[in-house]
Amino acid sequence: MKTIDDYYIKKKSKIVKDFEGELDVAAELLESWYNPKEVDEVVDLMKNEFEEMIPNIPYIGGQKNPTTLILLRCVSNLAIFRILEKKGFSFEEIGEFYYKFSIGNHQKRKLLLEKAGRDPAQYPFEKSYLDYQKKLCEDTQKREYSGDWVMDFVNGDGKSFDWGWNIYDCGVQKAYEKFGGLKYLPFICLGDHYEAEALGFGFSRTQTLGFGAPLCDHRFIRNSKTKPAWPPFNLQEFNPNHWNNV
């Protein structure tokens, strides 16, 4: 198994800068609770919390592995959860905050895709994207890094979905366990629904690792809409035994 202990340390300034871009949305949401000075203080706490976590993020191949970006984003989200908890937010208040935070950042992403001439509702079905996902799934089968994902690409049935993943090992789950944040993993799972809702494509799932299932069965559906998944209690994947009880 390959490891590079200082990869994230060398990339720290860029990693933090990317996080700061997402924290603009967090700052807007925090205005409902705090005055402007307090908002700045809470945002700084979130940034500092993430900076302290960066050296301990599992190495899964760095820039050669595209899921490194997903891992970084999800660990930065855990920094947000931690600070909100320290500030007295309840578990479900943190979950609602994350829903609004995710939608806000995906809406920014939607505008960027549109500006680039791409349809946000169609990008998951573009041939180049599908080819990339197939190659990515093949690469995960090598199990080169213990902290990485392991997943299969699933061809659509031509009726209920166009394509999907079956995820057996999740890099976020492993990182959250390392950081003592497993109780927040369901929020990250729900984020897949939030992305689909914001960008306008169809998404469905019956089970997730975050809710205690043996796998995540992501399914992507062209020319469909995804309903809001917050609160999540009516979702098929929802398991009350894995809701604030890990």
Residue position matching structure tokens 């809702």? 197
Q: Which two structure tokens, joined as six digits, stand for 143?
A: 């199990």
- Does 22 map to a domain? yes
The structure's pTM equals 0.96
Q: Among positive and negative, which fits the CA dihedral 85, 91, 95, 97?
A: negative
Q: How confident is the model at residue 160 (pLDDT cuts 50, 70, 90)?
A: very high
Please give the tally of structural domains in the chain: 1
- Does 167 map to a domain? yes
- Does 84 map to a domain? yes
pLDDT mean over 148-156 = 98
Q: Which domain holds residue 59?
A: 7-242
Which secondary structure element, helix H or strand E, spans residue 190, and what is its range?
helix 185-199
- Does 2 map to a domain? no
- Does 184 map to a domain? yes
Question: Is residue 2 over pLDDT 70?
Answer: no
Query: What residues contact residue 81 under an 8 Å CB cut-off, 6+ apart?
Result: 94, 98, 181, 184, 187
- pLDDT of res. 5: 73
- Does 60 map to a domain? yes
